[in-house]
Structure 1
């Protein structure tokens, strides 16, 4: 299928696959591919060779793959179709499209596929996405389905960047992973979640993200934006109180290649910046320990305020309003008018992230402090028999 589109930005084309979905299909994996002829075969091979945890091949009828070759000047579609022809039991659907103007972006490509997947899937089906330069762990489909069978509404996969010949970014990248893992542990200690229990990771991005079809529709679907479309989609889910499960068994391996495919912020651009920083001896500056603790204390207090629709009697929110230089009446208004807790917390968290002073610690210092705190606190929790949660809501 070939489509040429030249329309205003708000008028999107419709992707409609001719092949019917298999009645047993539970999960549809969408893959945008722009000039990926040199990368796509390992991705397709990993998608096809999925197994359970014992190494037994999965029933190929339980999942399908939708690959959209968008704006390609190479043989991406031909390579993918030839692969599908060699393995007819592998449910691979290859479509082609040319997007022009403001439509020519990854957000639109993802939206076309995910909207079509949502249309095809039965109730309770799962819309998933990955990237053309990403290889799924052999158990990715099985682990993803298991997470949904356990009650998940959305699942983010652990994204591993294997070693390659490109090394300039590596130290800061590993510091970033370490810091965010420790930050997730601090959040678990202060605000534990039954839906996303420990152990867990912290990622829910384009190389590995899946959501129930009902929640995909409820949040408005994939935003057709030029960049960080995966983050925008995660925010859309958060606004309707859909919580991600970060199961460590759901894992993918993605490329660290240099790429200018995305206009705007992208993972490859972050690696470029980290390379420049490492070369210059600079460090990213992030939330330090005390600000991480404050963030999650405020999250707990905001949830209670949202449930009660008032901030009175919550000293933590007095501190939050003071930090944001926000009158308490304004914070009360935001609490009272918030449509969901997720929307409220997202708004406040993004306000804090835009506050320059909230990021106050370079990586080495932040990692050191978070590691000391989590080790000491985890030890105290392990030796405590006190019922009723972590007891950390009043940490200093």
Structure 2
């Protein structure tokens, strides 16, 4: 609903590069053919690093043909390592001189030796190098030192970007042997969470579809497989230097500026099932928590299906109301009261926020923050065991799938019965959403 402007290199100073790293990390200039700058933060990854780099150099296009190595480069930052990760990387680079693999080794002060800061340093450097080539749609692609990208990882990211995405989250799988060797309760929790989140993703497709992120898709936007164009990296203000989870914080920054984010099933990465991580969050930490829950016989509880469905329906109604306000239409008092109740916020607060010049991403983020403050949402929706939530989601999806299958022609989730009246504004007329605006 908001027009997207074009961005040029001259527009990019919104990214404030840190003064401590104002000089390039890599002195060798990028190849003029470079389209993708892959960044790999590494800290004590001696056991997995060779496999990570091997996967990155054996890249093919979507037809299975060898990918021209001039089209991408790799920047690896070994920070605060106490093992021989840096030596392994340097040896690997010497053995593969046809690949642009740049090794940087640094010991950061304790206040900066965390993954968010390291990934920020690397992504800033990738951004700078792509800008030097004038590639506004050049791709900054992130992975990790304990992960192995698929052979078409670079090509699939480029495909999604060329199809119009501003950023891409890849599907991250836990390697099979490690998963099989997990504690039984942790493995069960992992598999249930994957199923739970996939069901949520499908439900979202029916109730609040994103035209730039159509089904089939997944739910992940994490550092092991995260790609973004240089122009969108700038518009989002760069990667936030938060301790963890920096990847989720960056995704939220992208949502705030209405980036076209694609959760692509074509982009795939396999990561380790280790249970001792480098941060206080992430998969390794979560696996450890599940193991401890099993020992203490604690249930795995999650948000119930009713809360999830209500959120998606309310978000879509809010999106339309926001669009109507942008087009000069005043929402009816009844629709404002009804939506505020559904969202779990006060009507007065919602009216005030709708009068402000927010992007929709900014508006909904404020709604979620307000929900936590007012506590109406939390008191209404109590967590349930994940098995119950999965069962309820499956039942609801059966109904939605049936409704969708009865539609004729090239119908989409926008055509479901809950999306009845078009908004009077011309730009919203084809959106297929319920009209909360008064004439």
The normalised TM-score by structure 2 is 0.82
1:251 Cα offset (Å): 0.7
Equivalent in the alignment of 2:149: 136
Pairing 1:154–2:167 present? yes
Aligned alpha-carbon RMSD (Å): 2.2
Structure 2 match to 1:41: 50
Q: Which residue in 2 is equivalent to 1:80?
A: 89
Structure 2 alignment gaps of length 5 or more: 1-17, 421-432, 434-439
SS, match of residue 101 in structure 1: coil
- Native 8 Å contact 2:310 2:342 kept in 1: no
Q: Work out whether 1:184 is the aligned partner of 2:198.
A: no
Q: Summarize the Cα distance change of 1:359–1:249 in structure 2 as closer, same or farther, 3 Å threshold.
A: farther
1:55 to 56, 61, 64: 64
Task: Decide whether the 8 Å contact of 2:276 with 2:288 is kept in 1.
Answer: no
Per mean C-alpha deviation after superposition, the further-off stretch among 24-33 and 359-368 is 359-368
Matches of 1:333 and 1:80, distance apart in 2: 54
Instruction: Supply the distance in 2 between the matched residues of 1:126 and 1:311 (Cα, whole angstroms).
Output: 41
Structure 1 range deviating more: 303-312 or 326-335:
303-312
Deviation at 1:142, TM superposition (A): 1.0
State the distance in 2 between where 1:281 and 1:370 align.
25
Q: Secondary structure at the match of 1:79?
A: helix
- Higher alpha-carbon deviation: 25-34 or 279-288: 279-288
Distance 1:185 1:277 in 2: 28
Q: How does 1:58-137 map to 2 (within 5 A)?
A: 58-121=67-130, 122-137=135-150
Q: Secondary structure of 1:207's match?
A: helix
Contact 2:317–2:339 under 8 Å retained in 1: no
Deviation at 1:12, TM superposition (A): 4.3
Does residue 1:390 correspond to 2:409, yes or no?
A: no
CA contact (8 A) 2:25 2:104 kept: no
Preserved contact between residue 167 and residue 262 of structure 2 (Cα < 8 Å): yes
Q: Which runs of 4+ in 1 moved over 6 A?
A: none
**Structure-2 residue corresponding to 1:318:** 337
Out of 20, 35, 45, the residue aligned to residue 29 of structure 2 is 20
- In the alignment, the residues of structure 2 paired with residue 243 and residue 344 of structure 1 have an alpha-carbon distance, to the nearest angstrom, of 17
Contact conserved, 2:169 with 2:222, CA < 8 A, in 1? Answer: yes
Mapped to 2, the partners of 1:380 and 1:260 lie a distance apart of 44
Is contact 1:29-1:128 (8 Å) kept? yes
**SS where residue 111 of structure 2 aligns?**
helix
The structure 2 residue matched to 1:217, chosen from 234, 248, 260, is 234
Alignment counterpart, residue 401 of structure 2, candidates 370, 373, 378: 378
Q: Is the 8 A contact 1:33 1:132 kept in 2?
A: yes
> Structure 1 residues 390, 314: CA separation in 2 closer, same or farther (over 3 Å shift)?
farther
Residue 356 of structure 2, aligned match among 317, 331, 337: 337
Deviation of the 1:253 alpha carbon: 0.6
Q: Give the stretch that moved more between structures: 331-340 or 19-28.
A: 331-340
Mapped contact 1:34–1:72 kept (Cα < 8 A): yes
Q: Give how far 1:16 is off.
A: 2.5
- SS of the aligned residue for 1:249 comes to strand
Deviates more, 1:45-54 or 1:197-206: 45-54
Would you say the 8 A contact 1:287–1:366 is kept in 2? yes
User: Which shifted more, 175-184 or 286-295?
Assistant: 286-295
Residue equivalent to 1:360: 383
